[in-house]
Amino acid sequence: MHKTRYNALRIKLHLSPRGPLLIKAGGISANPTLPDMQFVRTFHPEKGETIYIPGSSLKGVVRGFVEKALRTIDNQQSWQWACPTFPDDKASCAKRLQEEEKSSYIYGHSCGACRIFGHTRLKGRAAFTDFLPVNDIKTEIRYGVAISRLSHAVGAGPFEMEIAVAGTFEGHLILENFELWQLGLLALALEAMNQGLLKVGFGKNRGFGDVKVEVVEVTLEELAYGAQDAVWRGLGAFVGDPEIQSYRLFGPHRIEGMPAPEQVETVGFYVRRVYGPGAWHQAARHLMELTLLPS
């Protein structure tokens, strides 16, 4: 069923640090108590070498938030639960379903977090692209020390940290073949990040990682058949009851009364609608209310 693309959503986001932000470069440090405190860099064909926010680091943070939210609900009759994150844990979705062949069973018996972000046997539905600077990012060098967790004494340092303090990064959150509750949870995560409840990168306990999240534009594409501008449809609206049962898709499969798009065009079999930030916030409220309220 999921070889067909039924719906897809692309949210263009701007992330701007509200204070110190440090996404550490990966790799193995020679001295584990002195990690590499440089901001991660990439090579961009036009901008040259630049600091950036890897999509994988945002995915990790948002996945963690979604898991926590799901564990507070913990309803295993539904999507509203999260498995133990470690793939080696016997109860994790990856481990429980490792011998399973049927893709509908794997999807249907994976937890809410794995249905969105995937596991070793299941491709995720959501992904963040890398976030690149859209203007000059102001960086500073700060000095820090590592505090020993046991003795509370200074363990190592001082060491240098390269932090971003101002500027804007741009990238996308992309979803494909999604259920509406998945979009509701992701909208909630973006909201939490913008409110400073969900921090990004290194030093969350030192007050690092508070970012402003701006939704610049949202593009929704879905199969044109049966499309109506004020209705958003999840995966269950495009398939029949047998698939809703076998994949255990959860409603609502349609939400009516959604805001009017700024632009509508038909592209082949698909209709493409573009929304500005105001319309998105209205849509996000509907999604959160209708998909996340305890049923």
List contacts with Zn ion (CB under 5 A): 83, 93, 111, 114
Q: Which is nearer to Zn ion, 40 or 106 (CB)?
A: 106
Whether 217 and 275 have beta carbons less than 8 Å apart is answered as: yes
- Give the whole-angstrom CA distance, residue 103 versus residue 116: 15
Least distance (Å) from Zn ion to the CB of residue 247? Answer: 15
Least distance (Å) from Zn ion to the CB of residue 144? Answer: 35
Q: Which is nearer to Zn ion, 38 or 104 (CB)?
A: 104
Least distance (Å) from Zn ion to the CB of residue 71? Answer: 11
Q: Which is nearer to Zn ion, 114 or 193 (CB)?
A: 114
Q: Which is nearer to Zn ion, 83 or 137 (CB)?
A: 83
Angle between helices 180-194 and 277-292 (to 10 degrees): 120
Between the alpha carbon of residue 169 and those of residues 129, 214, 232, 233, 243, the distances in Å are 11, 10, 29, 30, 40
Q: Which is nearer to Zn ion, 100 or 289 (CB)?
A: 100
Q: Which is nearer to Zn ion, 249 or 279 (CB)?
A: 249
Between the alpha carbon of residue 47 and those of residues 51, 67, 130, 247, the distances in Å are 10, 36, 14, 44
Compute φ and ψ for 228, nearest 5 degrees.
-135, 140
Q: What is the DSSP string of 148-160?
A: PTTT-SEEEEEEE
Compute φ and ψ for 80, nearest 5 degrees.
-85, 60
Least distance (Å) from Zn ion to the CB of residue 54? Answer: 23
Q: Which is nearer to Zn ion, 81 or 159 (CB)?
A: 81
Least distance (Å) from Zn ion to the CB of residue 5? Answer: 24
Whether 79 and 108 have beta carbons less than 8 Å apart is answered as: no
Least distance (Å) from Zn ion to the CB of residue 104? Answer: 16
Least distance (Å) from Zn ion to the CB of residue 242? Answer: 24
Q: What is the DSSP string of 235-271?
A: GGGTS-HHHHHHTT--S--EE-SPPPPSEEEEETTEE
Q: Which is nearer to Zn ion, 83 or 211 (CB)?
A: 83
Q: What is the DSSP string of 72-93?
A: HH--TTSS-----S-TTSTTSH
Least distance (Å) from Zn ion to the CB of residue 83? Answer: 3
Strand, helix or coil at 125?
Answer: coil
Strand, helix or coil at 64?
Answer: helix
